[in-house]
Structure formats: C-alpha cells, structure tokens
Structure 1
Amino acid sequence: MGLIGKLMQALFGSGRNVVAETAEVFRENAEAGAQRRTDERAQALAQHAAEFARDDRGAFDRFMDGVNRLPRPALALGTLGLFVAAMVDPVWFSSRMQGVALVPEPLWWLLGVIVSFYFGARHQLKGQEFRRSIAGTLARTPQVIANVEALDALRSEEPAAPAPADANPALEDWRRAARG
C-alpha cells in the first residue's frame, strides 16, 4: 500500500470513504435515492394489488355491498325523475307534492339524520383516503418546485439578437474591394 493510502487509513480508518460521506451531506446519494423510489413504487403497487385482490366473501357480504351502493344513484335518478314527472304530468306531480307537504316535521328530521349519517360517514371515509393519497403528492412537491423554477429561468432569458447581415467580415472586405 502506498504512503497516501496508509496516511488516509491512519486518519480515517479502513473501509470509509470520507469524500463520499462528506458529499452526501450536501447532495443525495443517487443510488440510495433510486432504491428508495423503487421501494416506494413497489409498495404502492402492492397496496394497489391488495386493494383489488379477490377476497372470498360470502353471498350476504356481496349483497350488502350492492345495497350500500344504491342510495346515491337512487337519490340522483329519483330527483331527475321528479323533474321529468313535473314536466310530463303537472297535475299528478302537484298532487304528490301536496302529500309530501303533510309529512310531519319530526319525520323530516329523522330522514335528515339518516341521510346525514350515510353521506357524512362516506364523506369522512373519502376524506381519509384523500389525505392518504395527498401525502404521496406532497412528497413530489420539492421536485415540482425545482422544475417550475427551471422553466421560469428559461422563460426569463431573452433570446440573443441575430447578428446583422453586414457583420460578415468577408462580405465587408468584398464590398470595400468592389467600391474601390
């Protein structure tokens, strides 16, 4: 081993790369960063696969999942149906709405509570799913900011003005000789 190698081993110990360790303080290790991104993608794919994996649930569970999917489409299509009924047969629609006017107020409150709990629970579930997905989006924010800043720097640079046609020295010599 050479003199410099022995000196470095004496100062820093064997098996250490002081230059690489110092550089990693200021700049990410590209290989380790690539490995982290690969692991992150693999975990995302595994999560996606687990979400859509076929599970062996019973007929009752599948039936209840189907029933749970009915309220929103039923409310939306029912409301559209009311508009159609009002246009097709206004007398029939008016008589039905008079019947609705006779529904006691506590029953309206009960309906409001049921609908609020159903949609409130769904809103909370979707909100939690959204917050989990937004965490992945926020992890990409520094890279997006760097990209936007690089694009802004390109936009702020003014293109160089083209050289005038008479800036050609050979052409100038030829013109002088022609005048000559």
Structure 2
Amino acid sequence: MVIDILRALFGGGANVVRETAEVFRVNAEAADQRSIETQRAALEQMAGEFKLENRGAFDRLIDGLNRVPRPAMALGTLGLFVAAMVDPLWFGERMAGLSLVPEPLWWLLGAIVSFYFGARYQTKGQDFQRSITATIARTPQVAETITTLRQLRADSPGMAETRSDAPLALAVLAPADNPALEDWNRSRA
C-alpha cells in the first residue's frame, strides 16, 4: 500500500509533487536560468551596438576635432589672464569690445557651449557604460579562471608533489650508518 502511494506521488519517472507545486510557485532554478539567459542576451546585444573596432578614418578625425574645444577654451582663458598682466591696455580694449556684444548673442553662445558640454557628457557616459558592459561580459570567464586557480593551491590534495613516493619509501628502507647503534652492538659482544 505504501508503495502504491509513493508511485502515485512520484510514479512514472515524473515527480507529481514537484509538478503540482510548480503550478502554485515558480521553479526557482528554472527562473534563475531564464534570467541569466536574458541578461546574457541583453549584454551581447549592447556590446554589439557599441563596438569600437569598426571605426573608420572619418570617425577618428571627428573624434579628434571633438577633443579640441575644451582644451582650447581652457588655454584661451589662461591666455586672457596672461594678456591682462602683460599688456593691460590691450586687454582692456578687448574687454570693452566684449561689452558691446548684444545679450541675445551671449545667450546663443551659452546655448552652444551648454549643448557641446552636454553632448560631451553624454558621450563620456556612453563610453563608461560600454566599458562596464565589457567588464560584466568578462565576469564569467574571470570567475572560471579564479575557480581553476583555487583548485591548484598547494594545500589541495595531489598538488604539492607531482611524483610518486617510491624514492622516499626506498630511502627509508635502506640501512644507514648509525655510530651509536654500532657502539652498543660492540659493547654487548
């Protein structure tokens, strides 16, 4: 009777209890596996969108030109300080000329500079996301390497000595000179 009950619950190679429970609760292992596959597919897609190897000469030229304005603005501002100290009259004339610039033109300049730095911020943020994606994509390989290296530790069985113990066993069995034992044998004889 007990065998019939167990066959009813677990019979035919299928686990009726497990299958019934999965109706009410998600199989955690299967859900984790699906989650890993979804994440892996998303990472592969994102990595494919941001490949840097396919960049041509034009893209590299534009990237180089995009790097010019910020240093030029910084060096230009330092140059204005130097000009103010070297030739104050020349500097004063230039600043008086700037006071004649109409306010809408200042707003336009502010918008252009803001858009440039905003776009630069966005580009740098995307580069950062690409590097994080590449790092995360390498994580399983690094984890596997670490696991392999940990298995090769010296305190693991069979890792400290790779040869057999036969030479050690033969060395222990071979008689050795023992002066104290020889003296004792002579005194007894």
For the aligned pair, the TM-score class normalised by the smaller chain equals: 0.3 to 0.5
Q: Tell which structure's C-alpha radius of gyration is larger.
A: 2
Tell me the TM-score normalised to structure 2 length: 0.44
Structure with larger RCO (C-alpha < 8 A, sep 6+) = 2
TM (norm. structure 1) is: 0.45
